[in-house]
Structure formats: C-alpha cells, structure tokens
C-alpha cells in the first residue's frame, strides 16, 4: 500500500528528527568547548557509576510517571503537547545540578528522567496512542534508547529499526507482565531486563550530560541549558518514534520500513 502524500511528509520528518546532531555535539556548541574536556574531569570508574545511576533513574521514573498517568481521567488520544512546560521543569532541575555539580546528579537524574518520560507520553498521546495501554507505555520507555550510539545510528538499517528490533522481545515480555500484574514488582525479570537494555544506550547521553556538568564554568545557568538540550533531544526522538508507530498502525510495519529506507 502506498503512503498518502501527507504521510510521506510525516515519515520524512521522522527521519530528519532521527538524524539530528547528537546531544554531545549540541552541548559542545552551547558551552563552546568540546565535550571531551568534561570527560577528562570525570572521576575514575565513572562509567560504572553512570550505568548504575541510569538504571535506577529509569526504574524510578517509570514508577512515578505511571502513577501520574494512572491518575489521569479517561484517555483522549490526540491534541497538543506541553513540550514547553516540560522543558521549563527539566531546566529547573538542571539548574540545581549545574549549581551543585556532579554530586547532585544522583538526585537530579531521576527527577529529570521522570519529567522527560511524562513529556514522551504526552507526545505519544498526541500521535494517537493510548497511554493507558501497556504496549504504549513500554514504547515511551523505548525512546530513551534512541539516538545516542554514534554516527551509525543515523542510517535506516543500522539505526532506528535495528534498535527497535533489538528491544522487541524484551518490550513484548515487559508489556505482557505489566498487563497481567501491573507495576507492582520492581524486581520483575521482564522489567529488569528491559530497563538494563535501555539503560545501556541511555547511559551514553547521561555520560555526555555529566561531562558537561563537570566543566568548572558551567554553573546553574549552564546546567539548565544542558537539561533543555537533553529533553529537547528526547522530545524529538519521541515525535519521530510515534509518527512511525502511527503510520505502522495504518499501513503495516513492513510497508513503513520499506518506505523509510527508500527515502
């Protein structure tokens, strides 16, 4: 089935969003120095610490975001998103992190990630997703795995669709678990495995954010700007992701992937 002209344009938009510069490039442009300078200032064994912080932040964000989603009356897919207000909230947490430095990251990251996950759910809803559906919620979490692994992520074959394929089984298992039992056991193997896989990729962006916050001249204002870049990146990834999912519901996955790869 051929895509309608308007849907072709949406698919092109999704691809452009996935091919945006990485967070590291955006941060480097903002602070005026290569992000590598910040990496040199990070403590030893920081990579392991980032991994632990990222997994913890994703799990806490999932719990908190789901609680707020569950409190929403009914579900009306579509409509406008609150991107600006989510950016303001994340910028505020970044200001705190920028003022106190790396020491505040453990406290700031779960809060920032929670706000970002709510923003991602907002985007999903605007693209016709039912945010009370377990599969949609897992798809929201999936966004944190997108767009952070380097230049190879900019190709249709080894980037977006490859990431989704790698997470597909874990996403299905986690969604099935949540449908049957809800979010009642943080240690559930299905959720733990999914969080670990997503955290492996999300930690790349978190490391870049930490490296920027390690720069002595950053300060509170710089921390707010870094977090604004951080959430803007994932809002873009979410918009592209849920555009593709909307088109897949209409035309089928194979048709949309073939169309994407033909661009």
Q: How is the chain split into domains, by residue range?
A: 5-262
Does residue 31 sit in helix, strand or coil? helix
Tens digit of each residue's pLDDT (9 = 90 or more) over 213-256:
776 655 555 667 777 888 888 999 999 999 999 999 999 999 99
Give the pLDDT confidence score for residue 151 in this predicted structure: 41
Tens digit of each residue's pLDDT (9 = 90 or more) over 144-182:
998 654 444 444 434 899 999 999 999 999 888 888 876
Exposure string of 118-156, with b = 16+ CB inside 10 Å and e = fewer, is bbbbbbbbbbebebeebbbbbbbbbbbbbbbbeeebbeb
pTM of the prediction? Answer: 0.83
Residue 108: CB atoms within 10 A of its CB come to 24
Give the pLDDT confidence score for residue 1 in this predicted structure: 62
Report the C-alpha gap between 161 and 105 in whole angstroms.
Answer: 31
Angle at 257 between CA 10 and CA 81, to 5 degrees: 35
Give the pLDDT confidence score for residue 157 in this predicted structure: 39
């Amino acid at each position: 089935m051929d895509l309608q002209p308007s849907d072709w344009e949406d698919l092109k938009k999704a691809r452009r969003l996935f091919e945006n510069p990485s967070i590291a490039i955006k941060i480097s442009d903002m602070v005026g120095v290569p992000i590598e300078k910040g990496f040199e200032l990070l403590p030893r064994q920081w990579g392991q610490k980032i991994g632990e912080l990222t997994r913890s932040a994703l799990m806490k964000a999932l719990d908190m975001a789901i609680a707020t989603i569950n409190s929403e009356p009914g579900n009306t897919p579509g409509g406008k998103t609150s991107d600006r207000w989510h950016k303001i909230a994340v910028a505020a947490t970044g200001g705190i992190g920028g003022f106190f430095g790396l020491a505040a990251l453990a406290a700031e990251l779960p809060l920032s990630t929670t706000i970002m996950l709510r923003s991602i759910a907002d985007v999903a809803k605007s693209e016709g997703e039912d945010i009370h559906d377990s599969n949609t919620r897992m798809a929201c979490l999936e966004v944190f795995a997108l767009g952070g692994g380097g230049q190879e992520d900019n190709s249709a074959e080894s980037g977006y669709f490859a990431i989704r394929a790698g997470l597909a089984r874990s996403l299905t298992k986690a969604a099935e678990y949540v449908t049957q039992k809800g979010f009642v056991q943080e240690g559930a193997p299905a959720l733990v495995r999914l969080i670990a896989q997503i955290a492996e990729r999300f930690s790349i962006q978190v490391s870049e954010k930490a490296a920027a916050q390690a720069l002595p001249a950053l300060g509170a204002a710089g921390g707010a700007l870094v977090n604004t870049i951080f959430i803007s990146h994932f809002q873009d990834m979410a918009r592209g992701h849920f555009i593709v999912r909307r088109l897949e519901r209409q035309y089928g996955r194979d048709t949309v992937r073939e169309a994407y790869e033909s661009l």
